[in-house]
Chain A
Amino acid sequence: MKRILLTVLLGLLLVSAAWAVPQPQEQVEKMIKSVLDVLQKPDLTANEKKEQVSGKVQEFLNIASMSQRTLGSYWQGATEEQRQRFSELFVKVLEGTYLNRIGDYTDGTVQYLKQRVKGDKAIIDTQIVAEDLAIPVQYKMILVNDVWQVFDVVIEGVSLIRNYRASYGEIIRKDGYDGLFALMEQKVIDLNGSY
């Protein structure tokens, strides 16, 4: 009898643990803060900043989901090796892009407008305000292992992943996977040079 009771209680504990979902918006806030903290350190060189930020961003992004969705049906057609290679390069391209972008707006402030949560998905509406411009930025998130992770950023109605998908799909159609990887490698080198 005692054992049954214990099992039930344990089961209930697990159930309530699943309900106590963390805040998706807090996660976005944490991500932005962790990046800005590093970028605003005056005594670091550009390269040091980049190194410190790179690990931090990855922990908030769902790289697997982002890579998959960027390649779309080409993900299915790819070998395991090609997927691996793509994910690795894609992270670097994303990081470079993100760092350059956020670096442009270090003087701006981020306003959190609202969050919508539905099951394991969430949409966070924010706004970057700098001088006389306000740019709406939307974060789309999914809950993975009780952690909210960003898998798409929508800036002024333009979804980053969709944009990548449209471009990368076309490049694969024309030049194959190897063509895409070559372009990405070149881009990573260029991006690193521009800090």
Chain B
Amino acid sequence: MLTRFIVLILLLSFVDAPLHAEQLAEVDVPTQVIPAGQKGDKFDRDFADDFDGSFAEAEAINEILIDDPLEKINRGVFWVNDKLYFYLIKPIARGYRLILPRQARVSVANVFNNMATPVRAANDLLQLKFHDMATELYRLIVNSTVGIGGLFDPAASFVGVDNVDDEDFGQTLGYYGAGHGFYLVLPILGPSSLRDGAGTLVDTFSDPIRYADVATLTYFGGKSFKVVNSLSLDRDTYEGIVRDSLDPYLFVRAAYAQRRAAQVGKVNYDILSIDGNFWDEETFNPFKWLGL
């Protein structure tokens, strides 16, 4: 009798277990409970970044996020950029903020964003992100016409077609397996890398303003205006970094390396390795393109 009772309870306790686990799902956000035994899934990849580096893998924990053979030069440029930021560009942005109301500055940013659509669409195409490319082009058409040259964003506010992730040629190279190469701090433009610096250069070829037959001075004037305008909308991000970090140079470098790796969608520190997702099933299956 008692043995049967114990067996029954033991059985019940096994049935009991998953029921309790499901209680997790009772909040208002989508909840995914993954069985603990499962290995090597997306959760592990998302989590492992810093967690699975147990001390047995001390090497991994002292990972170098990005190589920096030119650190001395980079630090020099970083110092100059820092001074330019605090003593020239930021004061201009602050004055500009006083002149133009916020909504107008947002509209200016929209125009610049709209004009740069070809750059993003071209890189969507190169990365075979057809849905994103179509979204970019649709937004360009709607916002250039109904949105009066891109001043407004009716594609998002009326039709509900939101911005997609920004793509640039640096990310395209990353998509096909190129790593950062090494870290570079560009004058005025700021943090970059061998890969992304080259990418920035390539992207200027798909920038329509390049072909608008304007004087060089006007061209760079426009670029500076874009920078000042976006800084006027910024919430002192750089000031925060300088205030919080022990060594802003190191902090910016690590953040840049991580951010770009996240944008590309994977971590790859070796520029010579090719393990891109070009040759997989999704590339050649037209049904996958159409999302069928």
Q: Mark B19-39, 1 if CB is under 8 A from A, else 0.
A: 011011001111111111010
Residues of B within 8 A of A144 (CB): none
Count A-B pairs with CB separation below 8 Å.
Answer: 170
Q: Which residues from 236 to 278 on chain B have a C-beta closer than 8 Å to any C-beta of chain A?
A: 236, 240, 243-247, 250-251, 253-255, 257-259, 261-263
Check B259 against A123 for contact (C-beta < 8 Å): no
Looking at the assembled complex, report how far the CB atom of A163 sits from the nearest CB atom of chain B, in whole angstroms: 4
Check B13 against A159 for contact (C-beta < 8 Å): no
Stretch at the interface among B42-50, B121-129, B217-225: B42-50
Residue of A nearest to B59 (CB): A73
User: B9, B55, B236: which contacts A8 (Cβ < 8 A)?
Assistant: B9
Q: Mark A144-168, 1 if CB is under 8 A from B, else 0.
A: 0000000110101111011101111
Interface residues on A, range: 35 or more
Check A171 against B50 for contact (C-beta < 8 Å): no
- The answer to whether the Cβ of B98 comes within 8 Å of any Cβ in the partner chain is no
- The answer to whether the Cβ of A25 comes within 8 Å of any Cβ in the partner chain is yes
Q: Is the interface of B mostly helix, strand, loop or mixed?
A: helix
Residues of B within 8 A of A96 (CB): 244
CA distance A74 to B59 in the complex (A): 11
Check A167 against B55 for contact (C-beta < 8 Å): no
Check B254 against A101 for contact (C-beta < 8 Å): no
Check B251 against A163 for contact (C-beta < 8 Å): yes
CA distance A61 to B35 in the complex (A): 25
Q: Is the interface of A mostly helix, strand, loop or mixed?
A: helix
Check B255 against A158 for contact (C-beta < 8 Å): yes
Interface size counted on chain B using CB atoms at 8 A = 58
- The answer to whether the Cβ of B73 comes within 8 Å of any Cβ in the partner chain is no
23 A-B residue pairs with CB within 8 Å: A5-B2, A15-B16, A21-B24, A72-B53, A72-B62, A73-B58, A93-B244, A112-B29, A116-B46, A117-B24, A117-B31, A117-B34, A118-B38, A121-B47, A123-B47, A157-B261, A158-B255, A159-B49, A163-B254, A166-B63, A166-B64, A166-B65, A180-B246
Query: A-side interface residues toward B, CB under 8 Å?
Result: 1, 4-5, 8-9, 12, 15-16, 19-21, 23, 25-26, 69, 72-76, 93, 96-97, 100-101, 104, 112-121, 123, 132, 140, 142, 151-152, 154, 156-159, 161-163, 165-171, 180, 183-184, 187, 190-191, 194
